[in-house]
């Protein structure tokens, strides 16, 4: 199969080549997929895209005209793809749903600990030979209440990890995981109740029309004033404008995030010389009660290897006319 891989990152290239092992004729480009770069796919049977690529209806229609038949995502989330439209016009789409939920869950824990124990501030102080502790006071995780929004693959691992810290656990989800309830004393409550009672709140749901701006002013107002919100899912689940107000006026204690709702054109590139023009992101980064990482949760050796292997597996299935277990149907929920 002839394949074009969009948004190729330097850190994933060798793993993709190794997983392919010369089976498919692959071309790698650093360009992101959008309405202007879709024409690069002319003459290819399939493309592979990343989470920041644009696979909206207008782009899908261009790909269809170019006789592209398959799209393999190198991500679990697929909010950037109009799956319903793809199916309607005859494009088949698959994702990489299980590349490493541990990588994401463990990064969420890193964000909690890094924010709580002021590790970034401490490191900067020590580099300046400042060993004072006055502004480095955190809190014990033991005995704190943690709210898990979404107990799918990632959320389930977080339940186990926070339980090991001695935390009391709340969750909200459409489907209750009875194993977690029985083994880890997990209590399912409404989203509003979770926000009221939790000291730490972790977001682990996909970005859909139902979850877009799920966390907003009404929920911020019921949170504890020292609560920290942790986001390793998608930036658009949190209303950034409402969040900034809540952080600045002390409605909530802090925000630790690996994602941002308007990442496209900013994340996954070096903007140190050109700067950025997104004023909300500038403000978010500058606040003293935030910790922002550059969508790096998935970047572990194991996760990158799994993503590469899953991408090639999806292509193999289509070429060999086999059922692809990762193929998406409209309405599928993954995270």
Q: CB within 8 A of 167, min separation 6: which ones?
A: 141, 142, 143, 144, 145, 146, 200
Rg (CA), the chain: 21
| CA gap 292, 283 in Å, rounded | 11
- Is-catalytic flag, 176? no
- Partner residues linked to 169 by β-bridges: 146
Q: Which of 263, 301, 302, 309 is catalytic?
A: 263
- Contact by Cβ (8 Å): 328, 14: no
- Which residues lie below 8 Å from residue 176, measured CB to CB, with a gap of 6+? 151, 188
Query: Which of 107, 153, 239, 295 is labelled catalytic?
Result: 295
Q: Which of 168, 234, 239, 261 is catalytic?
A: 234
Dihedral through CA 117, CA 123, CA 125, CA 127, nearest 10? 170
Q: Which two tokens stand for residue 268?
A: 């996954």
C-beta separation of 258 from 285 below 8 A: no
Query: Is 263 part of the annotated catalytic residue set?
Result: yes
The verdict on whether 187 is a catalytic residue reads no
Give the residue numbers annotated as catalytic, written as ranges.
Answer: 234, 263, 295
């Amino acid at each position: 199969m002839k394949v074009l891989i969009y948004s190729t990152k330097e850190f994933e290239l060798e793993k993709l080549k190794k997983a392919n092992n010369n089976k498919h004729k692959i071309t790698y480009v650093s360009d992101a997929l959008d309405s202007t770069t879709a024409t690069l796919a002319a003459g290819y049977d399939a493309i592979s895209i990343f989470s920041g690529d644009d696979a909206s209806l207008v782009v899908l229609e261009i790909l269809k005209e170019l006789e592209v038949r398959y799209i393999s995502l190198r991500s679990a989330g697929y909010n950037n793809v109009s799956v319903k439209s793809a199916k309607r016009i005859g494009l088949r789409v698959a994702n990489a749903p299980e590349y490493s939920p541990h990588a994401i869950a463990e990064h969420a824990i890193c964000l909690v600990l890094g924010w709580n124990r002021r590790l970034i501030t401490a490191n900067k102080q020590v580099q300046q030979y400042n060993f004072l502790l006055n502004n480095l006071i955190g809190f014990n995780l033991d005995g704190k209440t943690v709210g898990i929004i979404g107990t799918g693959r990632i959320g389930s691992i977080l339940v186990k990890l926070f339980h090991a810290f001695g935390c009391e656990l709340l969750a909200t989800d459409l489907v209750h995981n009875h194993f977690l309830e029985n083994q880890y004393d997990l209590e399912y409550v409404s989203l509003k109740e979770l926000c009221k009672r939790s000291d730490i709140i972790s977001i682990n749901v996909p970005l859909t029309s139902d979850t877009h701006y799920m966390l907003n002013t009404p929920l911020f107002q019921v949170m504890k004033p020292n609560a920290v919100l942790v986001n390793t899912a998608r930036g658009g689940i949190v209303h950034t404008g409402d969040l900034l107000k809540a952080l600045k006026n002390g409605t909530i204690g802090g925000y630790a995030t690996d994602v941002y709702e308007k990442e496209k054109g900013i994340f996954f590139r070096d903007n140190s010389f050109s700067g950025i023009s997104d004023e909300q992101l500038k403000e978010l980064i500058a606040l003293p009660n935030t910790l922002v990482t550059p969508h790096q949760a998935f970047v572990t050796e194991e996760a990158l290897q799994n993503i590469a292997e899953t991408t090639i597996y999806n292509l193999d299935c289509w070429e060999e006319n086999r059922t692809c277990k990762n193929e998406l149907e409209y309405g599928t929920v993954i995270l």
